[in-house]
Amino acid sequence: MFCSSCLTNTSKYRLSERHSCTGRSTWWRQIRVPVELGSQQPGTRAARCAVSSTTRRFAMQVTGVRDARDGKPTSPKAFPWLQFVKYEGLGNDFILVDQRKCAWPEVDTAQAVRLCDRHRGIGADGVILLLPAISSGADFRVRIVNADGSEPEMCGNGIRCVAKYAVDVCNDSAAGPNEASTFGDGALSIETGAGYIRPRVLSDGRVCVDMGPPILDPQCVPTTLPGSRRIADVKAAVEVPLDGSTAEDIAAARLPLPPPECCGASEFVWRCTAVSMGNPHCVIFVDQKTFAWVDANLERIGPMFETHHCFPRRTNTEFIEVCGPRDLRMSVWERGAGRTMACGTGACAAVVAATISGRIPSQGAGASGDPVSADACVVHLPGGDLEIYWSPENRHVYMTGPANFVYRGECLLESSSL
């Protein structure tokens, strides 16, 4: 049963609950979303099910539902219900839509942007669609959409969330034997825009992801910055000023400079190392004072790096303070999402850039070949820590960190064409 005024699916309410909507005279409707609130503790699926009957209300702006405004009921089919789950990795949050068995309703770019809106939608840094694999070697494929609608090739925190979701689903008895046999051991192979990515859910609930080797060829990052050949096996460790090399150039280009007492970005240039982890990253090393200044001014300077002409597909930008040989602090401005609490691919790029520029020592071979127990580098992000290990053996980067279920819900997917 659907409410003829606001199209809310009223059949899911218990008799004791009353459906209420703001009526047909407004553009706003109340949509009730059944919510399973997630525990932030790994491995506590049973505990979080205990609160699964909690119901949350939120309002979504409905654009162009002419029938509802006119008071005529619209066919529910025209605005299908979207089932979603929300997961987060260190505060980098995603709306996951599992479309492996049913591609309907299809989420288009404009709808993804609306879903990510923190004021008018569910709110997230991105939407991740789980789709059937194209090749037989993969468990499934993901299509990732940033909050601004752009589609990145890869997302480290998102892949951890997807892996955790897949294993959560397979551990759910209602999911059936096929799911269980596929993901029961916690290891997956996922097709992404950056190739196959292999996450593994560990016994402590964290997820370790084989992120593959970094890409250092400037053309492949892609960046028009020239590569440096100072380090033999790193063709594209670039340290290049952004927009000119003089204070006048920078002032003319309105690139902000840190205050004089910040020596990390002195000489009036921002020096960066470009690294791709499937998606482009511009890594900038700064000292403690500059880090504080950058973090306070991120909304102002982040977009300037993101859209800098040296990065033809835009770029994610990480500001890194080296705190110790195994310790980095990171503030990130993400392409298509802005300031986020964490960026997995960014943390990997930061460790690669710090290693190839000699700021931290190369990491040793993994203890008994296990990238999780090796002497990984810890990257401190606003949302928490990630362990990053760049294997000297196969040159792959391994990222280990948490991923948590937040809640599940459903909402009407508004048509973009109206």
Ligand X SMILES: N[C@@H](CCC[C@H](N)C(=O)O)C(=O)O
Which residues of this protein are in contact with ligand X, per CB under 6 A? Answer: 92, 146, 152, 155-158, 279, 316, 334-337, 340, 343-345
Residue 89 or 409: the one with the smaller Cβ distance to ligand X is 89
Q: Is 155 in the active site?
A: yes
Shortest Å distance, C-beta 201 to ligand X: 17
Q: Is 343 in the active site?
A: yes
Those residues whose C-beta lies under 8 Å from the C-beta of residue 63, and which sit 6 or more positions away, are: 27, 414, 418
Residue 121 or 258: the one with the smaller Cβ distance to ligand X is 121
What sign for the dihedral angle of Cα 306, 311, 313, 315? negative
Shortest Å distance, C-beta 95 to ligand X: 13
Shortest Å distance, C-beta 276 to ligand X: 9
Contact (Cβ atoms closer than 8 angstroms) between residue 122 and residue 87: no
* From 21, 282, 343, 348, active-site residue: 343
Shortest Å distance, C-beta 58 to ligand X: 24
Residue 146 or 290: the one with the smaller Cβ distance to ligand X is 146
Chain centroid offset of residue 210 CA: 16
What is the C-alpha to C-alpha distance for residues 135 and 225, in angstroms, rounded to an integer?
A: 35
Report the amino acid identity of residue 413: L
Residue 156 or 366: the one with the smaller Cβ distance to ligand X is 156
b/e sequence 132-142, b meaning 16+ C-beta within 10 Å: ebeeeebbbbb
Report the amino acid identity of residue 411: C
Residue 186 or 336: the one with the smaller Cβ distance to ligand X is 336
* From 21, 155, 161, 208, active-site residue: 155
Shortest Å distance, C-beta 159 to ligand X: 8
Task: Kindly compute the dihedral angle of the four CA atoms of residues 160, 338, 385, 362, in this order, to the nearest 10 degrees.
Answer: 90
Shortest Å distance, C-beta 280 to ligand X: 7
Shortest Å distance, C-beta 92 to ligand X: 5
Shortest Å distance, C-beta 252 to ligand X: 29
Contact (Cβ atoms closer than 8 angstroms) between residue 163 and residue 200: yes
What is the C-alpha to C-alpha distance for residues 34 and 12, in angstroms, rounded to an integer?
A: 9
Residue 316 or 357: the one with the smaller Cβ distance to ligand X is 316
Residue 80 or 222: the one with the smaller Cβ distance to ligand X is 222
The residues that are catalytic are 155, 343
